[in-house]
Structures are given as structure tokens and as C-alpha cells.
Structure 1
Amino acid sequence: MVFCTINDFPAYGNLSGYSVKGHHACPICETNTSFLQLKHGKKTVYTRHRRFFKHYHPYRRLKKAFDGSQEHETVPNPLNGNEFYHRVKDVINMFGKSQKKPSSDANMWKKNSIFFDLPYWSNLHVRHCINVMHVEKNVCDSLIGTLLNIKGKTKDGLKCRQDLVHMGIRQVLHPISKGPRTYLPPACYTMSTAEKRSFCQCLRSLKVPQGYSSNVKSLVSVNDLKLVGLKSHDCHVLMQQLLPVAIRGTLPDKVRVAITHLCFLFNAICVKVIDPKQLDDLENEVVVVLCQMEMYFPSSFFDIMVHLVVHLVREIRLCGPVFLRWMYPVECYMKVLKGYTKTQHRPEASIMERYVVEECIEFSL
């Protein structure tokens, strides 16, 4: 449980030995990962979620709404434990930065994980879980940064629009040169100043029960029209409850509905009781929402964290509800342990001493 729970996506790569960067960054799709290398943005994005549909789905035949081509690929089949083991059993572990690593496209497995020495490890359907907490936070940061056009966090910009020109899609969003300046036409996800102010004032005026979340008012900067200092649980509350309320009356209907459905999906994924009969419908709904996001949002929005959303329902089917294997209980207890620190010079000893005292007191009572 420890190895499957306490990790974000970079730690996923460290534990499993899989390289979570590059063209084949998805450890579930592996070599069948659908990627696109942006020419101007210099980013690798992961789109074409239409291949997760049935062959007869109408989205597969659309061209202009997506990347200008139809989709004919099939759903990639995840490898089982034995197939993974045959991939990594001959990999020579090379530690240290001075060693020359092989090409990322030649073999995405960089080491033979020591966990394969366990007799049951090859028989597990899921050896390392995707942490929903970190996926939700990264998706929320990308979404909020793009909607509010926060500098350094938005996925839209001049290079993104130049990539649209290079791909030959969405002509209405192509940059327009006016002398020494370049004008970027507003997109369907672009909020006006009045809409940004309405969004921020809505969040600033919200009141929640004590202990439900942090003070949302402190996260909103009305003067700068942006959200600052978002923690993991703040993003969780935003995606689960607050964001659909804050965007009411703003943005076009199609964009607002797609964002609201994405929030509802995270809410459905994180519930404590899930009917296994509804997982197929939920998995199909995830693909529909991601394809709708591809229609409206720029290609640079779809980094690897957004792509991992499509695999969350699969892990629920194999591993059970999300709340049993995410990071929130661990982080809450880490906050308790940090509160035990009274001597900054020796924090570990201070934590250990107070922990032992607390255990003795509880045992005596």
C-alpha cells in the first residue's frame, strides 16, 4: 500500500523505472501513446483521445473540430505484469547523472525495479497507482491559468497560436500582425475583464462550513484578477464544488458545459461508494469530456497530466475507490508530525520525542 499510494507522477517513474517524460510518457499506453510535438511551443502534448471511442462513434469522423484528420486507431491494450517483466528483466541499472542513458525512444524503461523480486509483483494488474490528488491539482492549475490568462500558467499565447497556424486548424484564432505588434483574437475560453472580475468576486464572497476548506477569500486577488497560493486541497474543492458555481454566466455555453462536466467527473471519481455497473458509462463520459476539451482548448493544454485522466476509471475498476489510495490522509498526518517540531535544530528528534510521549499518555489512559 505504501509503494502504491505515496507518490506523485515523477515518483511514479522513480519507483517503476519507467521514463515519464518524452513522447511515450504514459506508462499505461507506453509505446502506443499518441503524442504531438509542437513546433513553436517546443512541447510534447498528448491528444487524440477519440481513439478510446467505439469504432462507430461520430467524433472519430470529425476533422475541423479536432486536428484536421479522422481517427482510425484503436484503444491501446495495457501490458500485464509478465509482459512488463520481460521488458525490464534485461535492463542494466545505471545510477548517477554521469552515465550515458539510452535514447528515450529506444526503451522507456530505465531500470529493472527491485520490486520484481517479490513473487507476487508480476501478477499484479496495477503495480503503481496514479495519484488522483496530483492529477486533479495539475488539471485545475492549467484550467484556472488558461481561463484567467495568468502569466506563466496559461496554456494560451503567441507560440500556441503559431502552432495552430502550423497545424492548419482554427483559422479564427490565428495571430494577426498589425505593424510591430501582433494581435491574438479572443478564443471561446478567453474571459473578458468583466468576466474575470465576476469570477473572482464570486469566489471571494463564498462562505463554506468550518473545516470544509481553507479560507477561499485569501486565495483570490481581485486587483490582479487571479488566484494565488492554491494548494492541493484548494484545487480539490475548486474542481469538486466551487468552479461550476463561479463560471455561471461567463464563457460560451459549450465551453462552460464542458468544464462543468469535467468537474462532475472528478466528483464522481472521488466518491466513496461506486457502483461497478456504472464504470463503463463513467469511462465513456471521461473520453467524451476530454474530446470536448480538445475541440475548444489549445493543443498545449493537453500535457501528460490531462491525458492521465482517461486512465483513472480503469484503476478504480482494478483497485477500488480512490479515497483508499490517495495522498490526503498521509499529508494530514504529516501536518500533525510537523506540529510536533519545537526544536528547529533537531526536527527529527523533536518529532520522535513528542510522538513517544503521546503514545505513552494514550497507553496510560
Structure 2
Amino acid sequence: MITSRKSYVSKMVSELKPSGIRKFFDLAAGMEGVISLGVGEPDFVTPWHVREEAIRSLEQGFTAYTPNAGLLELRQEIAQYMYNEFDVTYDPEHEVIVTVGASSAIDIAMRTILDPGDEVIVVEPCFVSYVPTVELAGGTAVTVQALQENDFKILPEQLEAVTTERTKAIMICSPNNPTGTMLSKADLEGIATYAIKHDLLVISDEIYAELAYDENYTSFAAINDMRERTILINGFSKGFAMTGWRLGFVCAPQEISEAMLKVFQYQLMCASTMAQYAAIEALRNGRPEVDMMVKSYRRRRNFIVESFNEMGLSCHNPGGAFYAFPSIKSTGLSSQEFAEQLLQQEKVAVVPGDVFGESGEGHIRCSYASSLENLQEAVTRIKRFVESLEK
């Protein structure tokens, strides 16, 4: 028995908070009859022609490592896709890396650019991994709160207020997880002006770019003078319904991209070979299924947002992704209390908003990546729960 130390686990990891999302997944998993609005993944199966291409790659014996940056054929397709869809040009040989999901891309980006003590401004509410990823890379996360009264959009003056000589980058996500907020071109231009003024990088998580509903999506890298300051994160999980394939990509100027590749070589070697062949097919021939999914998500969004507002839970209209972020402040409960009581009393699983940052308190995240029938039943249960609180 080892008795020489109190713990072999690092202080940083010991103090790292577990994911608040996972807590509610685990609670719901042990209950029968639960409708889950907590899962952040499409309810669609990866299209057959994409799966078939992965099977074909196995049958042909393509089971070895690929180059660290990924199959050149896939990187060429990614570069072409970025140009066709978002009007951004990248060199597939030197400025595109295929990663193990977008999370891996964010991790290598942080580890590449940060020295100990460097600060990254993180716009909250945000995905739960952003702050820990900065800290695990030795940086300091400085959070800024995007508020409901501004449709969860950050204002340049808020960024100015927290900028210091140690600020190195800002992390944004549009469409946003958990709020669904999509930044307009004008919003992005305001952030760009700020980034140029302070000579900052922008890490732009665009994993939900394909799931934009009511206006044309603008990539941050397409804003004037921003391509050379942007580390662009995207992948196949959300728009192409390929979560379990664990495949993402990162595009960045050559100097940064080649530095990230050094980190990736030691981190994970390369992404799954069969997943890469599947992704080639998704990019070449998957647009009809993406359009079909977007149409379905839009219909569900309209239903659930209208339903929340009708029951008195104020909910802004998300411009993309597949999340609604209604306010539950009128109930008098905290986000944690609301989510826990709703799960126990009505067997509906949602994610408390505070796990996404301080400005998420008073809200819950509800994924509408579920069948309309499930959403209708979930809304009925939530309304019954809210009405019970008024008695």
C-alpha cells in the first residue's frame, strides 16, 4: 500500500469540476420513462451512403494510420467545402488538420498558443469544456457574460473591460451551445475590430455552422482581415449526424496550423481511418440530408420556443444549433432545483443553465434534437410541473 504521498493526482486535475451535463445524464439513465432533452447530439442516424463508404474502406483493407493531419483527399474536400459554403480559402496541405472531434481541435489549439499565465476571454454561457481546456493548457480563462437582454450576444465594450496585457485570445461559438444564438456579420465585425485593436487571436467554434435557420451563416474567418487571426473549429458531429465517429477539423494560418500539428502528433497520432473515408463521402454527397435535418430542426424549434413562451418561460428564438434556453426565473427556483425537481416529478431531463457559466443561471438547456412526439409530451410534462409550482 502506498503511503508516501497524500495524492498522486495533480492539484489542477483534483480541483477540476466534473461536467455538469454528465451528472444529469447519469441521473436520467437510472430512471424508467424519462424523456431526455439533455443530449447534445442529433437524433438522426448517419446517412447510409456515408456508413457504406466506411464499410467499403474496411473491406478494401484501409486500416493503417493516415498522415497525422489526415488523408490529403479529405483535407482537400474540407478546403473545398469551406470555400463553397463559407467563402474562406485554406491550403489543404498546410492549413487543415483532421482531428478526433472538435473537442480535440480546441485542446490542441489551446496547448499550441498558450504560455503559463496567458489569458483567454471565454464568452459565457458556453460549452462546459472551454474553461477547463484553457486551464489544462496552463492558461487563465477570463469569462464574460452574454446576457439574455442582449439575446445572449457579447458586446465589444464588455470585452474591453476585461482585456489586459496578458490577453492572448478570445473564444466564441456561433451558433452557440447552449443558447442557440447566432452572431450576425455585424456582430462578428464588432469582435473583429476589437481583436485587431488588441492584436488577439480568435478561436471560433463553428461546429453548428451547418445548422443555421433564418439567415445566411457567416464564418468568423470570412470577416475582413480575420483569416490570419482565426483558429476555426468545425467537424462532422452535428451537421452531418456523425457524433460517434469522433471526427473534427481545424483550419488556421500555416504557422499556427503546423505548430498545432506537432501537438496533435503526440496527442492522438491521427483520426480514425474509416471515419475519414466516411467524411469524404459526407462532404461530397451529404448536403441533401443536412438540408433535411435543418428543415426538421427548424420545425421543432418553432414548436418548443412557442410552447415555452406560452407557459410563461421566456425563451428567445435561437438562430441555429438545436437548443432552446428558456428562463425559469419566474418559478423562483434555481437552475439546479428546477432541473432536479422536473426530473423527479415529471421524468423530463434538461440541463441546468448554470453549468454553462454564471450567466446561465436562471435558465435550462433543452435539446430539441428529439422527435416531435417526444417534444410534445415533454412540453406537456414541463407545463404541468410549472403549473404545480404556482399552486
Fold equivalence (TM over 0.5): no
Task: Please identify the structure whose Cα radius of gyration is greater.
Answer: 1
> TM-score of the superposition, structure 1-length normalised?
0.32
More helix by share: 1
More strand by share: 2
> TM-score of the superposition, structure 2-length normalised?
0.30
